[in-house]
Structure 1
C-alpha cells in the first residue's frame, strides 16, 4: 500500500512537471479575459466624459460583455465536450481580439462611438464565452490526481484574480496616454494567449469527445436530478460572489474619483489593494484545499461570511483608509471561496460532462458580473445603505447555501455517475 502511494506521488509530480507550461498557457486565458473587462472599470468615469454618456450607460460597457457570455457559455461547454477544448478555445480568442479592435477603432475614428463600442464588447463577450469557461474542464483533463487538479485550479483562479489586480493599474496607465488605448490592448493580449495555447497545450492521450446532443441532454438531466441541491448552491454562490465583487469595484471606482478626487494611476493602485488581497487568498486556498471536499466547503462558507461582514462594516464609517481596509477583507473572503467552488465542480463531475457543467457555473459567474455594475449604479442614486443591505443579504444567502447544501461529510465523492457517450 505504501509503495502504491509512493508511486502515485511520483506519477503526480511527473504530471505536474510535464504540464507546467500547459498550465501557464491555460492560465493566460482568465488573465486576459479579466484584463479585457476589469481594466475598463477605473476609466469608466473618463469614458462618461469623452463619450458624453451617463453612469448607467457606462455600466453597460461592462454588462453587455457578460450578458452575451451568459447566453453562449453553455453552448460553448457542450461544443467543447463534443469536439474538444482547443477546437473551441482558438476561434474564441480570435473573436475576442476582433472585438477589442472594433471598440478601439470606433473610439478613435467615430464621433458617435458608443454603439460601436457596445458592438465590439458583444464580440468580446462571444469570445469570452468560448474561451474562459473551457479552462476549468481542460485542467481537469490534464491531470489524473485530484490534488494536482486542485493545485492547478488554484493557479488558474490566482491568474484570474491577478488579472483583476493588474487591470486597474494597467487600464489607468494606458488611458493616461490615450483614453481608448485599453481597447487596442485586447487584440495584443489575445494573440499572445492564442499562440501559447496552440504551441504549448497538447491534447491528452485519452481525450475522447463523442458526446451527442441527445446524450448531452440526457446526462445533464440525470446529473441535476441526482445532485441538484449542491450544484445549484455552487452556481448561486458563484453568481453572488461575482455580483458583490464587481458591484463593489464599480462603487469604489466611482467614489474614489467623485468623493476623494483620486484618478488615473493613483486610483488604479488603490483599486488594486483589495484585489491583491483577493489574488493572494485564491492562491493560498488552492494550496490548502488539495483534494479535500470538506475543506472546500468550509473555506467557501468562511469566505462568504467574511465578505458579508466586511460589506456590513462599511456602515460604521466612510473614511477613506477604513473603506480600503474593509474592501481588502472582502477581497480575502471572495478570493478564498472562488477556487474552492472551481475544485468542487471539477473534481465531482466526470470528464465527459465536465465542460458542460463548469460552463453553466461560468455562466452564473458572468451573470453576477453583468448585474453588479448597473444595479449598484442605480442604488448609488439613493441611499448607500440600500446597497449595503443588498450586498450583505446576498452574502448571508451564499453562506447559508454553502453550509446547508454542500455536504461532502455525507457524500465525500459527491458525484459518481458515469455519463453515457456514443
Structure 2
C-alpha cells in the first residue's frame, strides 16, 4: 500500500471513525444473555437493546450527508462521535433497563452515519491511486474490527457485564482528537435539497433499485436477528457458553467474510453481481441449517463460517449492483436509501426474532431453533431458484 498517506492525521481519524461506526452491535452481542440477568428482562426486551440503537439510522442516515455538505464535515462528524461515546459509555452506569434504552437510542443517533461520513472524507481528501488505496485500507480495517469486537466484548464481559459499554467511550476520545487534527475539506459544493429529494423519489420507484433494497433488507434482517441476537441467547441456553466463548464463535462470520471480500475482484470475474448475491443466499441458508443441526459449539462455529462466506459475496455484489443499476444522477440517492434500508433490517430483525420465539413457542430456545430452520430453508430456496434464472439470462 505504497499510495497510502501514512503521514496524514486525517487518515487515522477516518479509520477510527469507521471502526467506531461498526462497533455498536458486534461488541455487545456476546453479552446479551448477561443482560437478562443484570436487569431481570425477557428475551424480547434484550432484542430492544439492538433495535433502539439501529432505529435512528433508518431516518437520519439519508440526510446526514446532505447536512454535512451544507454546514461542513467537521461540524457533523465530531458531534456524532461525541454522542456515540457519551451514550454508549453512559450505559455502564445505568440503574434500570429504561435508562439503557434511552442511552442506546442516543448512541444510535451518533452512529447513524459515521461510516458513510468516513467514506465521504476519503473522497474529499484523496484522489486517484491514493483514494483507491485508502478505500481498500478502510474496508480492511472495518473487516478486522468486525472480527475483533465480539472477542473484545466477550473478554471485557469476563470482568463485569457493563465493562464492554465503557469501551464505547473511545468515541469521545476520537472526537476530541478530531477537534484538534481533522481539517475541513476544501472545495465542497452544497447539494440542492429539492434535487436530492427528487433523486430519492426516483430511486424509490426504480425496479432494479427495489430488487437491490430487498436483498439488503433480508441480509441484515437475518444477520442481526438470527446471528447477532438470537444465536447468542441460544448458545447460552443450550451450551451454557460464556460471553468470551460466544464472542469467539460470532467472530467466525467476520473472519470468513473478510477472507472472501479480499478476493472479490477475482471472484467477480467468474460470475456477475446478481449471480453472486444468489450464491450468497445459498451460503446463508446452508449456514442457518447447519447451526440448527449442530451438535456442539465447534459445529456452530463451522456453520457460521459459511454465513461469513455468504456475507463476503453479497455485500460487495450489492454495492456493485447499486453502482451499475442506475444512472449517476440517482447514485447518491441510491446510497442514502441503501443505508437506510440496511438500518431498517438491523432494527426489525432482533425484535422480530426474540418476540416470535418468546410469544409463539413453549420456550424461547425452541422458538429460536425453529426460526433458524425456517429462515434457512426459505433463503436457501430463494438463492437456489434465482441463481439458474440469473445465470441463463447473463
User: Quick check: 267-276 or 156-165, which moved more?
Assistant: 156-165
**1:4 matched residue in structure 2:** none
Match of 2:63 in 1: 75
Aligned equivalent of 1:8: none
Task: Name the stretch that deviates more: 61-70 or 341-350.
Answer: 341-350
Deviation, structure 1 residue 89: 1.6
Deviation of 1:316 (Å): 4.8
RMSD: 3.6
What is the CA distance between 1:25 and its match in structure 2?
Answer: 3.5
1:319 Cα deviation from its structure 2 partner: 4.0
2:258 aligns to what? 279
Q: Shift in Å at residue 190 of structure 1?
A: 4.5
Q: Distance in 2 between matches of 1:152 and 1:392?
A: 39
Contact 2:57–2:109 (8 Å) recurs in 1: yes
C-alpha separation in 2, matches of 1:358 and 1:115: 33
Q: Distance in 2 between matches of 1:289 and 1:280?
A: 12
SS state of the match for residue 252, structure 1?
Answer: helix
- State the TM-score, normalizing by the size of structure 1: 0.77
Relative distance call for 1:315 and 1:252 in structure 2 (3 A) is closer
When structure 1 is superposed on structure 2, of 263-272 and 294-303 the one drifting more is 294-303
Contact 2:203-2:330 within 8 A present in 1 as well: no
Distance in 1 (CA, whole Å) between partners of 2:346 and 2:277 is: 19
Trace 1:245-324 onto structure 2 (pairs within 5 A). Answer: 245-246=223-224, 247-285=226-264, 287-288=265-266, 295-324=272-301
Match of 1:177 in 2: 159
Structure 1 residues without counterparts, runs of 5 or longer: 1-11, 410-422
Residue in structure 1 matched with residue 146 of structure 2 by the alignment? 164
Change beyond 3 A, Cα 1:316–1:117? closer
SS at match of 2:164: helix
Residues 158, 199 of structure 1: CA spacing in aligned structure 2 closer, same or farther, 3 A cutoff?
Answer: same
- The superposition leaves residues 356-391 of structure 1 with CA deviations (integer Å, 9 ceiling, x where unpaired) of 432321121122222222222234335423432234
How many residue pairs get aligned? The number is 385
Q: Show the counterpart of 1:209.
A: 189
Q: Post-superposition shift, 1:341? A: 2.5
> Match for 2:34 among 46, 50, 53?
46
Distance of 1:130 and 1:284 partners within structure 2: 27
- Distance change (3 Å), C-alpha of 1:197 and 1:37: farther
Distance (Å, rounded) in 1 between the aligned partners of 2:266 and 2:333: 27
Structure 1 residues 345, 183: closer, same or farther in 2, change over 3 A? same
Cα deviation for residue 179 of structure 1 reads: 1.6
Does residue 388 (structure 1) correspond to residue 373 (structure 2)? The answer is yes
**Corresponding residue number in structure 1 for 2:212:** 234
Q: Within 5 A, what are the aligned runs for 1:22-421?
A: 22=10, 24-106=12-94, 110=95, 113-141=96-124, 145=128, 152-192=134-174, 195=177, 199=181, 203=185, 205=186, 207-223=187-203, 228-246=206-224, 247-285=226-264, 287-288=265-266, 295-345=272-322, 356-380=333-357, 381=364, 382-383=366-367, 384-394=369-379, 397=382
2:360 corresponding residue in structure 1: none
- Seen in structure 2, the aligned counterparts of structure 1 residues 223 and 257 have a Cα distance that, compared at 3 Å, is closer
Deviation at 1:186, TM superposition (A): 0.7
Q: CA deviation at 1:57?
A: 0.7
Check conservation: 2:66, 2:190, Cα contact below 8 A. Answer: no
Residues 361 and 397 from structure 1, CA distance in 2 versus in 1: closer, same or farther, beyond 3 angstroms?
farther
Does the 8 A contact of 2:10 with 2:182 survive in 1? yes
Moved more, 266-275 or 193-202: 193-202
Runs (5+) with no aligned partner, structure 2: 358-363
In 2, are the aligned partners of 1:51 and 1:114 still within 8 Å (CA)? yes
User: In 2 relative to 1, CA 377–360 (structure 1 residues): closer, same or farther, beyond 3 Å?
Assistant: same
Alpha-carbon offset, residue 153 of structure 1 = 4.6
Residue by residue, what CA displacement relative to the aligned partner does 1:174-230 show, whole Å, maximum 9, x if unpaired?
A: 122222121121122442366359636762x5x4222222222233334556xx222
CA distance in 1, matches of 2:388, 2:335: 21
Deviation at 1:19, TM superposition (A): 9.2
Deviations 1:287-338 (A, max 9, x none): 5479x89754443333232222322344555443332211111111112321
